[in-house]
């Protein structure tokens, strides 16, 4: 099977009709029609086998996750997904693997009405690069540079599940493994928070590293209560005192949203969301990120968030 037959068989049907696609898969490039009054939001991520997903990950889950991590970036900007492209590097055109990958990719794409409109295929070590495009009404995108002194710092969902699943490997229970293999991009939350939050980002490399991006962009500092970080029942049951904080603060792969918003909008924000929203800290005037426990005692971590090439 050559690359053109591969595209026709597994991916051409993922160009959805009536979704602003003037011309989809099959030409040199796609033609897209953005909605009137909207700005385009564009993000791109590459997933490499053995680095971004374990070698034992199923093809379905690889397909799902490769799109999910991009849609999570759109969620953090308060954008609605519209289109995506896929650049797929494969060691061989394995029909069974491609069936599973395409099914996982399609399952999430259909949930969020995200049309696949182009890309590329080539031979090499397994690697997946997706560019996702979304829309947001002009001037209303959530950004990293809007945090204000006195804002509450909140997170959606729970933290640490994926990191714990990765550490436990084959012993991970299904609830934890699902958080690692099939993260749920918080699109609805991003849309709901668009006119409430001052700043937001998605948590991919660990809370303390990702939050620092907001602090740097906004020129502020923060204090986090590490004992307020939300845990799932499975995480609470299986974590240990020695690893809980590292998994929740620096483990990565959460794909939850970290949000800065006025304290007096917390009830409104919680009522608007389809997932829990937990207050975990505050934005301060003093630069830097300070970690404290429930008693207010300062904590100095012995770990850092994930960084490529470090």
Question: Are both 57 and 133 inside the same structural domain?
Answer: yes
Higher pLDDT, 79 or 49: 79
Q: For 105-163, how does the pLDDT look when each residue is reduced to its tens digit (9 = 90+)?
A: 999 999 999 999 998 889 999 999 999 999 999 999 999 999 999 999 999 999 999 99
Strand blocks (E) in the chain: 21-23, 31-32, 38-48, 80-90, 115-123, 127-137, 152-156, 199-202, 221-225, 257-261, 277-284, 288-292, 298-299
Mutual angle of helices 95-111 and 3-10, in 10-degree steps: 50
Check whether 94 is labelled as a binding-site residue: no
Number of Cβ atoms within 10 Å of the Cβ of 92: 10
- Domain end residue (candidates: 84, 111, 137): 137
Q: Answer whether residue 68 shows pLDDT above 80.
A: yes
Does the annotation flag 216 for ligand binding?
no
Does 310 score more than 90 pLDDT?
Answer: no
The predicted pLDDT at position 16 comes to: 63
Higher pLDDT residue, 169 or 4? 169
Whether residue 302 is annotated as binding a ligand: the answer is no
Q: What pLDDT score does 301 carry?
A: 79
145 is in an annotated binding site: no
**Is 73 marked as a binding-site residue?**
yes
Do 123 and 156 share a domain, yes or no?
Answer: no
For residues 152-176, average pLDDT: 96
Give the domain-ending residue among 137, 172, 197: 137
Residue 107 in domain:
yes
Question: Residue 276 corresponds to which tokens in the numbers above?
Answer: 């829990």
For residue 2, is pLDDT > 80?
no
Residue with tokens 């060691």: 91
Q: What is the mean pLDDT of residues 157-174?
A: 95
Coil/strand/helix, residue 3: helix
Tell me: pLDDT of 205 over 80: yes
Are 92 and 189 part of one and the same domain? no
φ, ψ for residue 154, nearest 5 deg: -130, 160
Q: How far is CA 60 from CA 166, 250, 300, in A?
A: 18, 27, 40
Instruction: Please say if the pLDDT value at position 309 is more than 50.
Output: no
Beta-carbon contacts of 238 under 8 Å, excluding residues fewer than 6 positions away, are: 164, 168, 173, 176
Q: What is the mean pLDDT of the chain?
A: 92
Least confident residue range of 17-21, 151-155, 205-209: 17-21
DSSP state of 138: T
Predicted pLDDT of residue 51: 75
**Residue 147, domain member (yes or no):** no
Asked if pLDDT for residue 1 goes beyond 50, the answer is yes
Q: What is this structure's pTM?
A: 0.93
Of how many residues is the chain composed?
310
User: 144 among the known binding-site residues?
Assistant: yes
Do both 185 and 272 map to the same domain?
yes
State the pLDDT at residue 27: 81
Contact (Cβ atoms closer than 8 angstroms) between residue 115 and residue 51: no
Residue 144 lies inside a defined structural domain of this protein: no
Residue 80 domain boundaries: 3-137
- Quick one: pLDDT at residue 52? 79
Q: How confident is the model at residue 93 (pLDDT cuts 50, 70, 90)?
A: confident
Is 306 labeled as ligand-binding? yes
Q: Which residues pair with 310 in a beta bridge?
A: none
CATH of residue 38: 3.30.1330.10
Instruction: Supply φ then ψ for residue 179, to 5 degrees.
Output: -70, -30
Answer yes or no: do 157 and 295 share one domain: yes
Whether 99 has a binding-site annotation, put simply, is no
Answer yes or no: is 120 a known binding residue: yes
Instruction: For 288-299, write each residue's pLDDT tens digit.
Output: 999 999 999 999
Q: Of 89, 109, 137, which residue sits at a domain end?
A: 137
pLDDT of residue 306: 52
- Residue 52 marked in a binding site: yes
253 is in an annotated binding site: yes
Tell me the per-residue pLDDT of 220-268, one tens digit each, with 9 for 90 and over: 999 999 999 999 999 999 999 889 999 999 999 999 999 999 999 999 9
Q: pLDDT band at residue 307, thresholds of 50, 70 and 90?
A: low
Give residue 109's pLDDT: 94
Residue 310 lies in a domain: no
Same domain membership, residue 80 and residue 8:
yes
Say how far apart CA 261 and CA 266 lie, in whole Å.
8
- For residue 294 the two structure tokens come to 């429930």
Cα gap 298→258, rounded to integer Å? 22
Name the domain count of the chain.
Answer: 2
More confident residue, 269 or 1: 269
H-run or E-run covering 237: helix 233-238
**176: confidence class by pLDDT, cuts 50, 70, 90:** very high
User: What pLDDT is stored for residue 5 in this prediction?
Assistant: 76
Examine residue 15 and state whether it is found in any structural domain, yes or no: yes
Task: For residues 23-47, give the mean pLDDT.
Answer: 92
Residue 304 has pLDDT above 70, yes or no: no
On whether 119 is known to bind a ligand per the annotation, the reply is yes
Distance CA(47)–CA(88), nearest Å, equals 10
Report the CATH number at residue 183: 3.90.650.10
């Amino acid at each position: 099977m050559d690359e053109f037959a591969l595209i026709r068989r597994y991916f051409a049907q993922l160009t959805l009709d009536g979704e602003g696609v003037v011309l989809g898969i099959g030409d040199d490039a796609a033609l897209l029609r953005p909605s009137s009054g909207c700005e385009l939001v564009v993000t791109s991520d590459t997933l490499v086998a053995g680095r971004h997903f374990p070698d034992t990950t199923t093809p379905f889950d690889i397909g799902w996750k490769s799109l999910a991590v991009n849609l999570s970036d759109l969620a953090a900007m308060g954008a609605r997904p519209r289109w995506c492209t896929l650049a797929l590097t494969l060691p061989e055109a394995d029909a069974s693997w491609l069936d599973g990958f395409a099914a996982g990719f399609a399952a999430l794409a259909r949930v969020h009405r995200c049309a696949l409109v182009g890309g590329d295929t080539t031979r090499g070590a397994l690697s997946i690069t997706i560019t996702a495009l979304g829309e947001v009404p002009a001037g209303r995108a959530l950004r990293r540079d809007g945090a204000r002194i006195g804002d509450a710092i909140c997170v959606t969902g729970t933290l640490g599940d994926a990191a714990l699943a990765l550490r436990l490997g084959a012993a991970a229970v299904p609830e934890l493994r699902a958080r690692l293999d099939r993260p749920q991009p918080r699109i609805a939350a991003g849309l709901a928070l668009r006119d409430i939050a001052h700043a937001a980002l998605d948590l991919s490399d660990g809370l303390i590293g990702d939050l620092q991006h907001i602090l740097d962009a906004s020129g502020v500092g923060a204090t986090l209560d590490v004992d307020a970080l939300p845990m799932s029942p499975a995480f609470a049951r299986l974590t240990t005192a020695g690893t809980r904080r590292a998994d929740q603060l620096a483990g990565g792969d959460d794909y939850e949203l970290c949000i800065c918003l006025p304290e007096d909008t917390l009830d409104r924000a919680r009522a608007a969301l389809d997932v829990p929203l937990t207050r975990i800290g505050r934005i301060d005037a003093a630069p830097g990120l300070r970690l404290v426990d429930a008693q207010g005692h300062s904590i100095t971590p012995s770990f850092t968030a994930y960084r490529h090439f470090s």
